[in-house]
Amino acid sequence: MREKLKALAELQKVDLEVAALRKAADVHPRQISELERELGVARSAIEAERARLTDMERQKAQLEQNITDEKDKVKKWEARLSEQRSTREYSALAREIDIAKKANLTMGEELAELTKQLGAAREAIKAKEAEYATKAQGLSGRMAELKGKLGEAEAQVKELEGRRSGVASGVDSTLLRRYETVRKKKLPALVGVVAGTCQGCNMNVPPQLYNQLRTSLGSDVCPSCHRIIYAVEALQETPAAEK
């Protein structure tokens, strides 16, 4: 019985190593996702600035077109001034020309301000692109490092799983089936009983069961947590029963 327990304990040792590796590696995908999100936020900020710049350039082009159209209109009206037959018609057209010139002057001021804003926006984008490039380089390096660690952990898990198959083949089939059933729900699935207390749930097992475990050096099931239990003496180098 003791040899069966030792084989199962060896199997669980491998399973615990795998579980620990996976738990430690679980943080890497989350960290990678967070870095990718951070990089995405920085990229989106630049894209938003580019979109704003494009909109300003569109406004500038439209304003320039409006100014050109108004200037052409003024030229045509000025050419028609001499054709006016009455003072009233002449004054009305002259007033329209004056209004158009003032509108052009206002639009010219708006164009100058918009051109100034465009220059500042372009400089801001250049600075943000340089900042993004630096950040992207740093984050990419960090992501590569995390992906490397994740790959190492996966390789270690694969190696342990290969070793597990060999270890599992040496475990009693009945005991192995029970162990696998418990392992799907909780790990460790095999725990010792110390001074009558199950080390899995910290509940006392019935005294008769504890005495039986110590005498047989075999295994049973904890009435409280349903893990496989054994007396710790069973896996000691010199079991109490053999003294």
Alpha-carbon distance of 27 to 48, in angstroms, equals 31
Band (pLDDT 50/70/90 cuts) for residue 225 is very high
- Where along the chain do its domains lie? 18-168, 172-242
Q: What is the pTM of this model?
A: 0.56
Record: fold of 18-168: Helix Hairpins (1.10.287)
Could you read off the pLDDT of 149-208 as tens digits, one per residue? Answer: 888 888 999 999 889 989 999 999 999 999 999 999 999 999 999 999 999 999 999 999
Alpha-carbon distance of 150 to 159, in angstroms, equals 14
In this model, does residue 235 exceed pLDDT 50? yes
Residue 5 contacts residue 218 (beta carbons within 8 Å): yes
Name the 3-class secondary structure at 26: coil
Band (pLDDT 50/70/90 cuts) for residue 241 is very low
Give me the mean pLDDT over the 80-97 stretch. 86
Could you read off the pLDDT of 102-133 as tens digits, one per residue? Answer: 999 999 999 999 999 999 999 999 988 988 88
Could you read off the pLDDT of 1-42 as tens digits, one per residue? Answer: 788 889 999 999 999 999 988 888 888 888 888 888 888 888
Band (pLDDT 50/70/90 cuts) for residue 239 is very low
pLDDT at 238: 54
Report the amino acid identity of residue 189.
A
